[in-house]
Structure 1
Amino acid sequence: MSGAKVAVVTGAARGLGELIALRLAGKGFRLALVGLEPEELARVAEKCGNGAESWKADVTDDAAMVAVAAEVVERFGRVDVVVANAGIATGGPVELSDPATFNRVIQVNLIGSVTTARAFLPALRRSKGYFFQVASLAALTAAPMMAAYCASKAGVEAFAHSLRAEVARYGVGVGVGYLSWTDTDMVRGADEDKALGELRAQMPWPTGKTYPLAPTVDRLVAGILRRRPQVYGQWWLPGLRYMRPLIPAIVTSQAGKMLAGFDEKWAAASGKNRLVGAGGAADEKR
């Protein structure tokens, strides 16, 4: 086990992060799990085995992440893969949004990924490792009522592409993972908002479908193991690359009828944008 490769996964307490960690552990990696929920992280570490350990840290805290990176290297001796998965989401009209909630989504999803990369890049340079950034369909197709999430995921996509060009000369690879709506606590939490759930139900196939977690993660992990620059969680997502110039006009043309009366429905149902799912709740308690 002393010669085993080491993977760091942020946002590993549940859902996508948990299953990515478990799949990598199954491939022989030792796991360092990072997040805000110590008990859940410890549960996942135990399931991973191979001496997996966990650290409580806010990915937006530079000092905390630098300290975690140092402790991971001290514990395991190396870092070969970093999966920047930590993320939260909110929905609703920009005009009516709570600034603190809106801004927090961008801080965690975008700034948290930058902070994670900055902290672990020295170790990745030594190992000629691989940094994997979890993005989203939202990076490819910006949607109304998801402005904070879409902006953050478009941001991490651009960040990862920039980082790849910077660190290629050191032998470090950088990949971006794209996935559509996948069966996680975050997506289920979003669907609990009646107005947002109804809006998603109007999205055309295949963009409105919720996809099972396991095959999505299997696709992502296969790309991680191959150090791919782009990895897609669903088969149809690569085709969107060729439609990107057309997507904003298509979305805008459809939004008028889809959003008829939405603001009133949303205000009646909740009237406040909140962080969705169990991960959002954990972030609010940080």
Structure 2
Amino acid sequence: MSCSPRSPRSPRPRARAGSRRPHALHGRTAVVTGAARGLGREIARELARRGARVALLGREEAALRRVASSLPATACCCWAVDVTDDEAMRQVAEEVSDRLGPVSVVVANAGIAEGGPFAESDPATWRRVIEVNLTGSAITARSFLPDLLAAHGYFLQIASTASIGAAPLMSAYCASKAGVESFAHSLRAEFAPQCVDVGIAYLNWTDTDMIRDVDQHPVLRELRAHMPPPARKVHSAEWVAARMVTAVERRAVAVYVPAWLRAAQVVRAALPAVVTRLSRRELPRLAARTPFEATGLLGAGGRADEAHRRP
């Protein structure tokens, strides 16, 4: 569903691979999924600040309207849509191109999470995390691919440290983020001959309602507390968004926020053994203090997704 007035069709933007020109986003049309709140909202604001026309996609129409009202009226439109709905996303892609001009940038940011023991997890909730985070990213790419091919555009996949090293009690989220990393690598190789660039954003803890919800659950809070100090630091969504949009301007292959995360790639082969060793020692101790329980979908975005699917 569109939640903005119709605006004139814009001329087709032309992107150049590897562009690092100042104001590279000026006049271009960019799509951000999961734009109703958190990091997606801040990425949309930063894209608009740097001159892009922005299509805001998400589940929550009222929240999307609030974000849209904070941006120049001629620079954005918003659509309430489920990124896992192929036909709805296809229709939205057509409307975005018609209203804002063909798309040359897509940021696949929509994501949800749940935590708790895998054996006790609700199968539908576990599956929904995979559907939104992984399948939703693929549907987003497929829906906007015609414009990206025509514009020699750029697709940025928001991933996570969970793409590099999985953690216990977050099996669905970790599986989905490892999946989007592999998906983005495959997409990059496949469309390199057509000059469509694909980047992956590896993010640590970002101050969103989903992460704040993590700290409301004792076991997940304890797990985060056992990380090294730099790894458990929470960064503001505005600070992270600025680095995401700079990566878009540079058509980066990969962006690490904070930058030290790049070093994790060097040692990622050793991480599963390290995590297993720590888990064998720490999980029984944590379980003795606080029973492990399923969290359900985390954050306001997760609850909104659940509410939209409820009969």
TM-score by length of 2: 0.88
**Aligned AA for 1:203?**
M
The answer for the alignment partner of 1:274 in structure 2 is 296
Structure 1 partner of 2:146: 122
Shift of 1:27: 0.6
Q: What one-letter code is carried by the residue in structure 2 that aligns with 1:204? A: P
The equivalent position to 1:259 in structure 2, one of 266, 280, 283, is 283
Amino acid at match of 2:47: L
Q: Deviations 1:178-224 (Å, cap 9, x if unpaired)?
A: 11011111100111112211221122222222222222222221111
After superposing the two structures, state which structure 1 stretch, 250-259 or 32-41, moved more. Answer: 250-259
Deviation per CA, 1:56-97: give whole Å up to 9, x if none: 110000001001001111112210100000000011111111
List aligned pairs for 1:24-103, cutoff 5 A: 24-49=47-72, 50-103=74-127
**Residue of 268, 271, 279 corresponding to 1:247:** 271
Matched residue type, 2:296 = R
Partner in structure 2 of residue 284 of structure 1: 306
Whether the 8 Å CA contact 1:101–1:273 is kept in 2: the answer is: no
| Contact 1:90–1:102 under 8 Å retained in 2 | yes
SS of equivalent to 2:70:
helix
Residue identity matched to 1:167: F
The equivalent of 1:142 in structure 2 is 166
CA contact (8 A) 1:6 1:78 kept: yes
Q: TM-score when scaled to structure 1?
A: 0.95
Deviations 1:214-256 (A, max 9, x none): 2222222111110001011202110111001111111111112
Q: Distance in 2 between matches of 1:57 and 1:263?
A: 39
- Corresponding residue for residue 220 of structure 2: 196
2:297 and 2:224 map into 1 onto residues whose CA distance is: 17
Structure 1 segments unaligned to the other structure (5+ residues): none
2:244 pairs, out of 220, 234, 238, with: 220
Cα pair 2:53 2:76 within 8 Å, conserved: yes
The answer to whether structure 1 residue 179 and structure 2 residue 203 are counterparts is: yes
Deviations 1:41-67 (A, max 9, x none): 111112121331100110000001001
Aligned-pair CA distance for 1:263:
4.3
Mapped to 1, the partners of 2:294 and 2:265 lie a distance apart of 34
Structure 1 residue aligned with 2:17: none
Contact 2:48/2:75, CA 8 A, preserved across alignment: no
1:114-163 CA deviation, whole Å, 9 max, x = no partner? 00000000011111110110000110111111111010000000000000
User: Which structure has more RCO (C-alpha within 8 Å, separation ≥ 6)?
Assistant: 2
SS of 1:28's equivalent in the other structure is coil
Tell me the C-alpha RMSD between the 2 structures. Answer: 1.5
Quote the offset at 1:166 in angstroms.
0.9
Q: Which amino acid aligns with 1:61?
A: D
SS at match of 1:182: coil
1:96-115 CA deviation, whole Å, 9 max, x = no partner? 11111111101100000000
Given the superposition, is the C-alpha separation of residues 163 and 213 from structure 1 closer, same or farther in structure 2, using an over 3 Å criterion?
same
